[in-house]
Amino acid sequence: MTTDSRQPVSPVPPELAAARDRLAHPDALSFISGTRRPGRGRPAAVLILLCAGAEGYDLVLVEKRPDLRHHAGQVAFPGGSMEAADADPIAAALREAQEEVGVAPADVSVLGILPTAHIRRSGFDVTSVVGWWTRPSPLQVMDVGELAAVHRVGLAHLLDPVNRDTWTHPSGFTGPGFWIDELYVWGFTAYLLDGLFELLGWTQPWDAGRISEIPSRFLSERL
């Protein structure tokens, strides 16, 4: 006899179901510096996965291995390049989440997609898929060659002004940053978090004048 360690089915909260139009708005990514409308970049997709937590909502983030050639140590959303077998960015994001951290595609209710953004420094055209995890299960690193850890983070922590600041890159770029204990989220992932919170009306006033250098552990050669 086997047991199912997943939680009971959790329906999409009404406030998230009502946010679909805002997520798909053409100007939804206008807040992200260093991006532009998709061009001829390599197509990629990430999954912004929300679920019910102990206090409000939780969010799934992955931590890259520190010895990678690109994006070493960075905290990001599950995701990666689209493959020929992927029907669309949604399929790509769900596949990547399953391959990286074991999230079953059937347990994700897609809320919508943010407009595709071209990341100038990496050359990717990234589509961000927002989903609700209807039946959360224990997360684990499935792709040990790419990831060092997977984290389920409370949104209340990310929204707390104490855990927010502005990062500065040696190149001169700046942007919003988030502290999760000893972890630091910056770059495109942090821009997405910042923009998503604005779109959903969740942002709390925070001190953008508080500046931090990106810790070397999370600083790679690309923004």
Question: Mean of the per-residue pLDDT values for the chain?
Answer: 87
Whether the pLDDT of residue 223 is over 60: the answer is no
Token pair recorded at residue 165: 């600041």
Q: Tens of pLDDT along 48-90?
A: 999 999 889 999 999 998 666 666 668 999 999 999 999 999 9
Q: How confident is the model at residue 171 (pLDDT cuts 50, 70, 90)?
A: confident
Nearest Cα residue to 165 out of 135, 194, 136: 194
Q: Is 94 helix (H, G, I), strand (E, B) or coil?
A: helix
| Beta-bridge partner residues of 154 | 58
Whether the pLDDT of residue 1 is over 50: the answer is no
Residue 185 has φ and ψ, to the nearest 5°, of -105, 125
Look at residue 39 in the predicted model and tell me its pLDDT: 62
d(CA 11, CA 38) in angstroms, rounded, equals 33
Greater pLDDT, 132 or 24 = 132
Which amino acid is residue 212, in one-letter code?
A: S
- Round to the nearest angstrom and report the end-to-end CA distance of the chain: 49
Q: Tens of pLDDT along 99-113?
A: 999 999 999 999 999
Cβ neighbors of 69 (< 8 A, separation 6 or more) are none
Look at residue 6 in the predicted model and tell me its pLDDT: 57
What structural domains and CATH numbers belong to the chain? 21-218 (3.90.79.10)
Averaged pLDDT, 175-184:
95
